[in-house]
A = this chain, B = another copy of it.
Amino acid sequence: MARKKTRTQPGKVYADRIAAAREEMGGKDLPAYLLTNQMDYHYFTGFTGEDSAVLLTPKRVVLISDGRFEEAIRQECPWVSVVMRKTTVEEAVGKLCQKTRLARLAVQTDCMTVASHKALAKAAKPTRLVAAPPIVNRLRLCKSASELRVLDDAIRIAQDAFKALRRSIRVGQTERQIAARLEYEMQKRGASGPAFPTIVAEGPNAALPHAHPGERKVRKGSAILIDWGAKYRFYNSDLTRMLFVGTIPPKIRKIYGVVLEAQQKAIAAVRPGVRGFDVDAVARAHIRKSGYGKYFGHGTGHGLGLDVHEAPAVSFRTKTDVLEPGHVVTVEPGIYLPGVGGVRIEDDVLVTPDGFRVLTSLSTDIADAVIK
């Protein structure tokens, strides 16, 4: 049985989220919801440990964790009931299901592995596992005012770090050194780390949309693509800007103009009720009409929050995701010319009741991208 640890009540933020989830669970007649995704159980409890799970029922919040996190639990969520497992998460949850004679348990099939599902089904018998409806996803998509404040901080940190980096760039530095410096500047400003491995791609390397920074060096006339973000209190920012050392290569200048127009048009298309697919289509149509259709192979954007990539998709691959007020998405079209280089411009955009608000504020004017 779970040890009772309910020394205090959850703060309002978590109490509200739990209440919202319970309301949806009631509507769907779900007696219990198992959160195994770390960012999801963090969302409901504030707990920061990994390899854990939260069982949410109409009456209880049970955290299944292990000895490494005993002290963290005391500090972060002393109000949850706790099962300190000495076995696997699946065995511990299974035992709990059996002891509480649970008939059905909703599990997150979009992040639970087949092997884990099989082990849990066996350990929880006769509790039946059912695929959880996307209650949590739905809640996480719409950012509250307090979440937006943290996201704003994550964006500010990333932007300030970029400005500091810009001043430090010199001919002869490698992509890797520049990426390291940018991540350091973000952490100095309070980021717990980069939101994802920073991309710094010089010259032809920028034709690889997901390049890994390497030993390639900055030279006079370099066009450099930088895609970075800060992780701050578990929320992520995500931007892309170009930098040019002294001069702008003519081919790159041309595609910069096309990408920026595509990005501005796509941002202007953001509003409630529109599909991510439609926003993508706006950027894609502009790039296609300009003659670069086959050089834009990726989706236009993605949702942003506790995960760097979360719903809603802003992509030609997903037709179902519809934007709603409170969603935050990236808008980041690009053009990549093999052997020559590439341009991507990325901002973070909030869907508002009557349209959009661009949360990022770094200039996208090509003149501002030139380092003298």
Residues of A within 8 A of B (CB): 48-50, 66-72, 74-75, 84, 86-88, 107, 109-115, 117-118, 131, 176-177, 179-181, 183-184, 187-188, 190, 192-194, 197, 207-213, 296-298, 316-317, 336, 338
When the two chains form the complex, which single residue of B68, B115, B177, B338 contacts A297, counting CB atoms closer than 8 Å? B68
When the two chains form the complex, which single residue of B69, B109, B177, B197 contacts A188, counting CB atoms closer than 8 Å? B177
Contacts A110-B113, A176-B192, A317-B86; is A187 near B183 (CB within 8 Å)?
A: yes
When the two chains form the complex, which single residue of B179, B193, B209 contacts A68, counting CB atoms closer than 8 Å? B209
User: Across the two chains, which residue of chain B brings its CB closest to A207?
Assistant: B71
Q: Which residues of B are found within 8 Å of A316, using beta-carbon distances?
A: 86
User: Across the two chains, which residue of chain B brings its CB closest to A318?
Assistant: B88
Residue contact B212 to A48, C-beta cutoff 8 Å? yes
A70 to chain B, nearest CB (A): 6
Q: Which residues of B are found within 8 Å of A211, using beta-carbon distances?
A: 72
Q: Which residues of B are found within 8 Å of A176, using beta-carbon distances?
A: 187, 190, 192
Residue contact B210 to A72, C-beta cutoff 8 Å? yes
Q: In the complex, what distance in Å separates the CA atom of A188 from the CA atom of B184? A: 11
A252 to chain B, nearest CB (A): 16
Q: Which residues of B are found within 8 Å of A74, using beta-carbon distances?
A: 338
Q: In the complex, what distance in Å separates the CA atom of A239 from the CA atom of B212? A: 25
Residue contact B70 to A298, C-beta cutoff 8 Å? no
Q: Which residues of B are found within 8 Å of A110, using beta-carbon distances?
A: 113-115
Quick one: copies of this chain in the complex? 2
When the two chains form the complex, which single residue of B49, B180, B296 contacts A187, counting CB atoms closer than 8 Å? B180
A170 to chain B, nearest CB (A): 15
Residue contact A212 to B183, C-beta cutoff 8 Å? no
Q: Which residues of B are found within 8 Å of A66, using beta-carbon distances?
A: 297-298
Q: In the complex, what distance in Å separates the CA atom of A111 from the CA atom of B116? A: 9
Contacts A66-B297, A70-B297, A71-B207; is A87 near B192 (CB within 8 Å)?
A: no
A-B contact pairs, 10 of them (CB 8 A): A49-B210, A68-B298, A71-B336, A72-B210, A109-B114, A109-B118, A113-B113, A114-B117, A180-B188, A184-B187
When the two chains form the complex, which single residue of B72, B177, B193, B212 contacts A208, counting CB atoms closer than 8 Å? B72
Q: Which residues of B are found within 8 Å of A114, using beta-carbon distances?
A: 107, 109-110, 112-114, 117, 131
Seed contacts A70-B338, A86-B316, A115-B131; 7 additional CB < 8 Å A-B pairs: A48-B212, A49-B210, A109-B113, A110-B113, A114-B131, A180-B187, A192-B197
Contacts A69-B210, A297-B66; is A184 near B180 (CB within 8 Å)?
A: yes
User: Across the two chains, which residue of chain B brings its CB closest to A194?
Assistant: B193
User: Across the two chains, which residue of chain B brings its CB closest to A69?
Assistant: B210
Q: In the complex, what distance in Å separates the CA atom of A48 from the CA atom of B211? A: 9
Q: Which residues of B are found within 8 Å of A192, using beta-carbon distances?
A: 176, 197, 212-213
User: Across the two chains, which residue of chain B brings its CB closest to A338?
Assistant: B71
Q: In the complex, what distance in Å separates the CA atom of A296 from the CA atom of B86? A: 12
A322 to chain B, nearest CB (A): 19
3 residue pairs, one from A and one from B, having the closest CB atoms: A67-B297, A180-B187, A109-B114
A292 to chain B, nearest CB (A): 13
Q: In the complex, what distance in Å separates the CA atom of A88 from the CA atom of B114? A: 19
Q: In the complex, what distance in Å separates the CA atom of A298 from the CA atom of B84? A: 11
Residue contact A113 to B115, C-beta cutoff 8 Å? no
Q: In the complex, what distance in Å separates the CA atom of A111 from the CA atom of B71? A: 30
A90 to chain B, nearest CB (A): 12
Q: In the complex, what distance in Å separates the CA atom of A285 from the CA atom of B104? A: 41
Q: In the complex, what distance in Å separates the CA atom of A190 from the CA atom of B84? A: 40
